[in-house]
Amino acid sequence: MVPSGPYGSWPSPIGAALAATHDGHPEYVGMVGDEVWWTEPRPGEGGRRALVRRRADGGEESVLPAPWNVRSRVIEYGGQPWAGTVRDEGGALVVFVHFPDQRLYAYEPDVPGAAPRPLTPVSETGGGLRWADPQLRPEGGAAGEVWCVLEEFTGEAPTDVRRVIAAVPLDGSAADDRAAVRELSDDAHRFVTGPRVSPDGLHAAWIAWDHPRMPWDGTEVILADVTQDGTFEGARRLLGGPDESIAQIDWTADGQLLCTSDRTGWWNLYCVPDIADPHPEAVTLCGRPEEFGGPLWKIGLRWFHPLDNGLIAVIHGSGTTALGILDPESGELVDAAGPWTEWAPTLAANGSRVVGVAASPRSAYEVVELDTGTGHTRVIGSAHDDPVDPAYYPEPQLRTFTGPDSREIHAHIYPPHNPGHIAPDDELPPYVVWAHGGPTGRAALVLDLEIAYFTSRGIGVAEVNYGGSAGYGREYRNRLREQWGVVDVEDCAAVALALAEEGTADPRRIGVRGGSAGGWTAAASITTTDVYACATILYPILDLTGWATDETHDFESQYTESLVGPHEACPGRYRDRSPIQHAERITAPFLLLQGLDDVICPPVQCERFLERMTGRGIPHAYIAFEGEGHGFRRAETVARALEAELSLYAQTFGIDRNDVPLLELRK
């Protein structure tokens, strides 16, 4: 007989330490010869990102030992941090960005005794010189070059920055000499991606955009001629504009330019047959009400990859995503077989092989290879290995709820689930509404041990893809325009209330939780509604006025122009929606978690917010973590944060647990 116990009190084999060691997933796959390489998180090694290679015999190995950390800080969210090739004389050559100093390094791992050697200098201004989206050009110059994005700070303010496409010599001559770095583009645009060079080497194309637009609002494709000496000439706008988001570009083997554009309201795939035309036609290759692209939060993301045989590997879908192979001539699209419901925006290809990173509700992200010749898929790296009996994993439900104005709200509902325990018949479960970050992000339908940490103990989770989320078309994204702090809060509350009204959740025991922009939504929710019994707020935005002036990084420094409205035109709106201005309205206990090295949502906002809460008698706790930035990466940090969150729910929801450290709630 299955024992009965109150919701939230169930024992579970999914501990906080276990969930923390599985935090993060592989990124940035690439081919080095016949080998597949990628970056991979190491929460137990200080949160570094390792560079991993899969050798021809199937063995995996870390290319660089700790403390090497392959991660870029360009636009703070980073981007493609490495590139590799096989030397003519044999052996791999890789260039990569090392996170602590942000220098580019070159490394030949197959040369005995070789060590990474720096290619770029350190700058004493701002955060130094930063690099992303490298493209190896071994034939350029005497010893070859790497072409990439250069982000250069010109002053101490986070907005004192310029970005250009630059060429770095591979011989190391620029390691201590900034003048040895060639600038290939001018700084006419605030933001640029790395260049994509045509197969004949005569043209380079890249994506650019400017404040106050974000890349999912409007971008342009810039095309330049590449001269014999490797300089760019005649740079001109080819496609795009302020109301058209082009998320990725690349070239086919026969020299046609491909791009993903949302000109019809969905990111679809297009081809530009004639780049010489001053007003080129973009031909739709697969017009569907689905996304074949996404928000460019990091430089160098890939949703498609042209293949040598003329076919195109694409990641596509609405809400969930699949990997497919598109025939651009017929428009036929055939999806790869397999259980995966989410493909990360990274792809690589070599011959008939396509490699990506995918996950499902029963498996974490793993490196997957598709053989386009046979249609066979297989896991080739970072293979999911169940750390506990998968019977403890939650069973998600894809739901669509109705919000204000009869608008649709997409959500994933994870009911409490534990094969060894049930709850009394007369008890409804507590739930926590999770608001994702971005806010132009999306909660993916994948196995997340942090969710399982709660559901296996008897606490349900509702992930809400509120209006403004990516993955459902531009109209859905645009619901948040000038409505941040309104639509997101309303949609999360609508899901919470619907779960309560249908008898799924206990209306007195519903919490809200989010990080970054989700932290904003969580904080705004407890200042403007009485739906929630408590809140967990991670590295949040709390003061719009500060965040819109000088308290965030350059990339998002004018994001509020579209999310809230121009600050000069509506300063009252910035004050009225900021949780920091309405501390007196808060009646729910809360937990505030913050990284002290966070430059995106700096701790100063949390500190001001807590000052407003002093003496108000509302139970709350604040935990600040040294060495953590925006998003926690160290295993010990993630574990402590999860245990503190569980203790908050135990105290607020009236759950008896003595197996987690007691979170001290001050008033």
pLDDT for res 142:
52
3-state secondary structure 47-65: CEEEEEEECCCCCEEECCC
pLDDT in tens, 512-535: 999 999 999 999 999 999 999 999
pLDDT tops 80 at residue 401 = yes
Instruction: Flag whether 621 is in a domain.
Output: yes
- Please name which of 517, 632, 666, 655 lies closest in space to residue 16, comparing C-alpha atoms: 632
Mean pLDDT of 206-231: 97
Instruction: Flag whether 599 is in a domain.
Output: yes
- Please name which of 632, 486, 606 lies closest in space to residue 542, comparing C-alpha atoms: 606
pTM, rounded to two decimals: 0.96
Instruction: Flag whether 495 is in a domain.
Output: yes
Q: How confident is the model at residue 124 (pLDDT cuts 50, 70, 90)?
A: confident
Instruction: Flag whether 58 is in a domain.
Output: no
Mean pLDDT of 488-496: 98
Q: How confident is the model at residue 139 (pLDDT cuts 50, 70, 90)?
A: confident
Residue 435: C-alpha distances to residues 64, 152, 225 (Å): 36, 33, 45
Q: What is the CATH number of the domain that holds 633?
A: 3.40.50.1820
The pair of three-digit structure tokens given for residue 667, joined into one six-digit string? 């008033």
pLDDT for res 140:
59
pLDDT in tens, 67-85: 999 999 999 999 999 999 9
Q: Mean pLDDT for the chain?
A: 95
Least confident of 183-187, 284-288, 354-358, 421-425: 421-425
The rounded percent of the chain whose pLDDT value lies above 90 is 92
Residue type, 241: G
Mean pLDDT of 330-357: 97
Cβ–Cβ < 8 Å for 183, 150: yes
Instruction: Flag whether 456 is in a domain.
Output: yes
Q: How confident is the model at residue 441 (pLDDT cuts 50, 70, 90)?
A: very high
Specify burial of residue 61 (Cβ count, 10 A radius: 0-12, 13-18, 19+): exposed
pLDDT for res 570:
94
Cβ–Cβ < 8 Å for 131, 105: no
pLDDT tops 90 at residue 101 = yes
Please give the Cα distance from 80 to 104 (Å, whole number): 12
- Coil, strand, or helix at residue 660? coil
HSE of 657, CA atoms in CB hemisphere, 13 A: 29
Mean pLDDT of 134-142: 77
Which domain, by its residues, includes 411? 390-546+590-653
pLDDT in tens, 590-638: 999 999 999 999 999 999 999 999 989 999 999 999 999 999 999 999 9
Provide Rg for the chain, Cα atoms: 25
Please give the Cα distance from 348 to 291 (Å, whole number): 19
Instruction: Flag whether 484 is in a domain.
Output: yes
Mean pLDDT of 358-365: 97
Instruction: Flag whether 481 is in a domain.
Output: yes
HSE of 66, CA atoms in CB hemisphere, 13 A: 9
Mean pLDDT of 421-447: 95
For tokens 């990997």, what's the residue? 323
pLDDT for res 127:
65
The 8-class DSSP code of residue 392 comes to: G
Domain count, the chain: 1
Please give the Cα distance from 557 to 212 (Å, whole number): 8
pLDDT for res 1:
66
Instruction: Flag whether 631 is in a domain.
Output: yes
pLDDT for res 128:
74
pLDDT in tens, 25-80: 999 999 999 999 999 999 999 999 999 999 988 999 999 999 999 999 999 999 99
